[in-house]
Every structure is written in structure tokens, then in C-alpha cells.
Amino acid sequence: MEKRPRVNSLEAFDQEEGTCSLPLFLPTCYTQRMRDSSLTIFDFDGTLYPIDTYDSEQLLILLGARERGVFFTKRCKHFIAQDQKGVFNDSSFHHRYEKLVKRTNDTMFEEVAEVLLSHVGEKEKRALLKLSDICDLGILTCGTENLARAFLRKLGIEDSFSFIRGKKLVRDKEGISHLVVDIDGPEAKAERLTSLRKDYDTIIAIGDGPTDIPMLEAADYGIIVAWNKQNQQYPYATFPSLESAVLHTIHYLESSERA
């Protein structure tokens, strides 16, 4: 498939659903060729689900504080309040986060995933599965891999994603979790995307805000999921839901294949 030039606006593609003149399916030879040469990368927090008060890591911190006493709980809430104000840089956040979640476990990851799934359902699942039929899927996140994986598993689409890269909580023999950081900031997401170019002709990136901009800039086509919020305006195709963003991605890939 001929590599498409980068497109970051809706000039060539209609955002409104139902306006695509393409057929609802492509022959198997087309879909296999697209899958072999195309990749869609998602951010996790705020992209695959909408953030409602707390993101996945903040929810994990609060769950871990349940049995640690009043003082520890206050410490966790203060950390979350500071995080929501953007006080921490990446390294200071990682250092404090590791200390607060060192006693978390797989059950807590699953509990967080259940909360996140209250905002995501069958429509998003069907759209993602349809997209996985025509291209590889992956996650590059500044968040926690364990939480992203639990989310995908609960949604029933874990096997549809080729990789998840972020930071990972790994437990030692004493059951204490230690933080292993792969993606340490927004620029690292862009660098990891660029490293995948040897394997794909077309890379699409889908995010939700400022920390995704380097990744979107590095992609052939960048998309923002706004989740019906009045977000800052970005020079990228912007959609009100994950479902609409994914369906547009399918349209874009099918159009590219037929061009």
C-alpha cells in the first residue's frame, strides 16, 4: 500500500457518521494487506475511557488506601489533588506513585477496570473489534500497563491488541510492587511510535489531550477523542466519543487502501 501523506484535519474526511460512500466491507485480500501494513496506536487514560473525577492511577491509589488507615488515606488524597493540579513532573510523580501503590494487587487492577467500564460498552467494543480486523492495535501510555490490560480484559478485547507500553507494577517475592518505567513522558511515546515505522506503512495515533501531542505529531494521522467535553482546540480531527473516532479511523484506512 502506498504510504499516505500526513493528514491532520477533516478537510478530506467527513466527520459525520453515515456519509461514507464506501462499502461496509472490503475483500479479504484488502483487509489482510491493510492489517499487515497499518497500525493504530491509542493512548489509555482519557482516550479509551473518559476521565470522571479520577483517572485509573488515582483510582488505584484510593483503592490501595482503603485498609491503610486515616493518615495514609489523607496522604493519598493530597497526592491526587496535587496531581490534578499538574504539580509533579514525570520523575517526581513516578517516585511518589510507586510508594503509594506498593501494596496493590491484581484484584485491585480488576476493580479499577470495573469502574472504568461503567463509561464504555458494547458500541465501543464492536468498533474496536472491527478496527482490529483491518489493522494492528497498540497502546502507548504514560499510565500503568497493568490497569490498561485489566481494562481490555474486562472489555473482552485484550487479544485484539498487539502491545501495551507504559509503566508496569511488578511484585517481588514479598508481594511489594515496584514500578518499571518504559514510557516516561509524552516525548517517549513519540519516540516509541517512530521506532515502529520500520514495520508499518501507515501509523494512526489516537489521544485526548496535551500529553498526546508529540505522539500525534509523529503519526501519519492524528485523532483526538474529546468525550463530549469542550476541550482545548487542536489541529487534529476531533470526535466526541471513542466509537466515532474508531469508525472514522476505519473510514480513513479503507479510503487509503482504495486510493
pLDDT tens digits for 116-160? 999 999 999 999 999 999 999 999 999 999 999 999 999 999 999
Contact criterion met (CB below 8 Å) for 190 and 200: no
Give Cα 233 to chain centroid, integer Å. Answer: 19
Q: Which of 112, 137, 160 is the last residue of a domain?
A: 112
Q: What is the pLDDT of residues 35-64, one digit of tens each?
A: 568 999 999 999 999 999 999 999 999 999
Enclosing H/E stretch for 122:
helix 122-132
pLDDT band at 181 (very low <50, low <70, confident <90, very high): very high
Q: Are residues 80 and 131 in the same domain?
A: no
pLDDT band at 6 (very low <50, low <70, confident <90, very high): very low
- Domain of 93 in residue numbering reads as 56-112
Torsions phi, psi of 24, nearest 5?
A: -75, -10
Sequence-distant (≥ 6) Cβ neighbours of residue 200 within 8 angstroms: 37, 38, 39, 136
Which helix H or strand E contains 143, and what residues bound it? strand 136-144
Residue 18 included in any domain = no
Last residue of a domain, which of 112, 139, 159?
112
Residues 243 and 131 in one domain: yes
Residue 3: per-residue pLDDT: 41
User: Domain check: are 194 and 248 in the same one?
Assistant: yes
Counting the structural domains of the chain, the total is 2
- What integer pLDDT is reported at residue 209 of this predicted model? 87
Kindly state whether residues 220 and 98 are assigned to the same domain: no
Domain membership flag for residue 9: no
Asked if residue 245 has pLDDT above 70, the reply is yes
pLDDT at 256: 79
CA angle 57, 158, 6 (to 5 degrees): 85
Q: Can you state the angle between helices 106-116 and 56-64, rounded to 10 degrees? A: 130
Average pLDDT, the chain: 87
- CATH classification of the domain holding 186: 3.40.50.1000
Q: Are residues 71 and 193 in the same domain?
A: no
* Cβ atoms within 10 Å of 76's Cβ, excluding its own: 20
CB 75 within 8 A of CB 62: no
Verify that 164 and 240 share a domain, yes or no. yes
**Same domain flag for 104 and 192:** no
Instruction: Say if 19 falls within a structural domain.
Output: no
Same domain, 46 and 60: no
In a domain, 220, yes or no: yes
Do 152 and 204 lie in one domain? The reply is: yes
Residues 140 and 205 in one domain: yes
Residue 2 pLDDT exceeds 50:
no
Question: Is residue 67 over pLDDT 60?
Answer: yes
Question: How many CA atoms within 13 Å lie on the side-chain side of 233?
Answer: 1
127 and 77 in one domain?
A: no
Within a domain: residue 245?
yes
Angle between helices 56-64 and 90-100 (to 10 degrees): 30
Do 42 and 136 lie in a common domain? yes
Contacts with 114 (C-beta within 8 Å, 6 or more apart), sequence order: 154
